[in-house]
Amino acid sequence: TADPKIIKSAYVIEELSFTEAIELCNFGAKVIYPPTIFPVYHKNISIHVKNTFNPASEGTLIRDIQTGGNGKIIKGISSIDDTALITIQGLGMVGVIGVNKRIFSSLADNGISV
C-alpha cells in the first residue's frame, strides 16, 4: 500500500489492475519499472510480484481486471517530491464543448505546469 520504510503499517496489495500498477510506478513506486508493464499488458500476461526478502509471501498479482472490484477506493500511495496528480472525471463532462480548455486554462492561469 505504501513504502514500508516510510509507512510502518504498509501491507502487500493482493491484486492490482495494469492501470493501477502503471500509475503507482509513474508516481514514485519503485517495485516495477513502468516500461516493463506495457508488453505484458498488450499480450494480457499477468505479473506476479514477489518479495525477495520474504519469498513465502503471497506477493501482488497484476492483471487485466476492472479497478475498484474489492470495494477499496484507495489501493496504494506513492509520491514524487513537488508533484501532484489531478484526476477529473464524470459523465457531466461528456459532450460538453470547452471543458478541457477551461480546465487547462485555469491551471495555466495559476502558474501550474501540465
CA dist 9 and 108 (Å) reads: 38
CA dist 111 and 83 (Å) reads: 14
CA dist 19 and 84 (Å) reads: 18
pTM: 0.63
- Kindly write down the DSSP assignment for every residue of 9-73, as one continuous string: T----SEEEHHHHHHHHHTT--SS-GGGHHHHHHTT--EEE--TT-TTS--EEEES--TTTTS-S
pLDDT tens track of the chain, all 114 residues?
888 888 888 888 899 999 888 888 887 888 888 888 889 999 999 999 998 888 898 999 999 987 554 556 667 777 778 777 777 777 877 888 998 898 899 989 998 887
Give strand pairing partners of 15. Answer: 61
Cell (9 digits) for 66: 476492472
